[in-house]
Amino acid sequence: VTLDLKGASTADVYELTGILLPESPPYRIAGHLNKRGKIWTFNDFSGRLGSSDISGDIAWDAEKKPPFLKGKLVSRNLDLKDLAGFIGADEQPEDESRVIPDRRLKLDKLSTMDADVEFKGERVKTTNLLDNMVMKVKLDNKVLRFQPLSFDMADGKIKADIAVDARKEPPLTDVDVHFSRLSLEKLFAPLAKRFGEENVTAGTIGGRAQLKGHGASLRDILG
């Protein structure tokens, strides 16, 4: 059948299908829904997620224990704020004096399925610093991994491996970030306009950061 699906948030799909998706802005997608054997597929779909376009293919095996989702998604013009629901950053902190989101991540349902999904944002349209975003997401036995999460930035590249272990209480987040050949001139270009180019550092920078944090919200993890 041809399926046209729309709603206020992709997270609401869980009640209909059992597929666990993050919070999102309003969306609408349409594609071809098929069932072959025990596998449901939603192929050649395309549409909008907030102000981003999205297209791709997914397969859902509800007979596996736990059920398994596999997918490949592409956005040719990605607005990063449309992905804020992945990290609980789609709502402002309750305490207005704080900056980092404190909404509790919904990790209690991670045991209901496993997943292997690849997402690519070919062009990031909300900033001139980021492009070519690649995110490979795997969910296995309540461990959520982004391996890798990478993007081009300021003529260089940032690559991160992120694991969220929801088997622990509070959940444990492990982050390993590598960045290479980032242009300081481009990173600090907004400051140059304010303070003068002669007062802003130029050159390139690279490095690595390894971080661990416990918590069920982005603020707790970073704390």
Residues found in the chain: 223
pLDDT digits (tens, 9 = 90+) for 58-86: 999 999 999 999 999 999 999 988 887 66
Model confidence band, residue 143 (pLDDT cutoffs 50, 70, 90)? very high
Q: What angle do CA 136, 126, 158 make, to 5 degrees?
A: 40
Taking the model in full, what pTM does it have? 0.83
Is the pLDDT reported for residue 88 higher than 80? no
Which of 23-32, 149-158, 183-192 shows the lowest per-residue confidence on average (mean pLDDT)? 183-192
Give the model's pLDDT for residue 195. 79
Whole-angstrom distance, CA of residue 185 vs CA of residue 204: 8
Structure tokens at 143: 């461990």
Whole-angstrom distance, CA of residue 116 vs CA of residue 112: 14
Residue with tokens 């390894």: 210
Model confidence band, residue 128 (pLDDT cutoffs 50, 70, 90)? low
- 111, 66 in Cβ contact below 8 A? yes
